[in-house]
Amino acid sequence: MSEQTKGEFLQEKMLNMAKWVTLEVGKENLPADLIAGIDGRSVLEVTMVCGLIEANEDLTTLRNWSGLVQLMAANNVPAELQEVVALVRQKEAMHDKFWRYMRLFIDVVRQ
């Protein structure tokens, strides 16, 4: 069995985040299938998004929602990922875990 690449790990964690958001928000309250949308993204796409988050680490450190939204829109981040941010932003109870995911993405990119 081969070892998981950094990109595959990031893809797995991004998918886990989508599953968590779907579970917390309720699939019936979602405009689209977040899990399928994120699962359909390539390792390269997910790695690029995580690199973008890492390059703009201050947004995570400051928990800057509007900055993160603007960054994603300006860089044509897939709609499903933008939807995750919008949904989590509306539910304060989800904020800490979301920002831990962002920190994980940053830390993994830097390894």
Condensed to tens digits (0 to 9), the pLDDT of residues 11-59 reads 999 999 999 999 998 888 776 677 888 888 999 999 999 999 999 999 9
How many Å apart are CA 20 and CA 97, to the nearest integer? 10
Instruction: Specify the pLDDT at position 100.
Output: 98
Instruction: Specify the pLDDT at position 104.
Output: 98
14 within a domain of the structure (yes/no): yes
The yes-or-no verdict on residue 1 having pLDDT over 60 is: no
How many Å apart are CA 79 and CA 92, to the nearest integer? 21
1 within a domain of the structure (yes/no): no
Instruction: Specify the pLDDT at position 60.
Output: 97
Instruction: Specify the pLDDT at position 33.
Output: 76
36 within a domain of the structure (yes/no): yes
How many Å apart are CA 39 and CA 94, to the nearest integer? 21
**pLDDT averaged over the chain?**
92
Burial (CB count <10 Å: 0-12, 13-18, 19+), residue 58: exposed
26-40, 41-55, 62-76, 92-106: segment of lowest average pLDDT: 26-40
Residue among 4, 8, 10, 2 at smallest CA distance from 109: 10
Structural domain harbouring 80: 6-25+32-110
40 within a domain of the structure (yes/no): yes
49 within a domain of the structure (yes/no): yes
104 within a domain of the structure (yes/no): yes
Please tell me the pTM assigned to this model: 0.91
60 within a domain of the structure (yes/no): yes
Q: What is the tally of structural domains in the chain?
A: 1
Residue 15 vs residues 9, 20, 53: alpha-carbon distances, Å: 10, 9, 16
How many Å apart are CA 53 and CA 44, to the nearest integer? 14
Q: Would you state the structure tokens that stand for residue 14, as one six-digit string? A: 């991004």
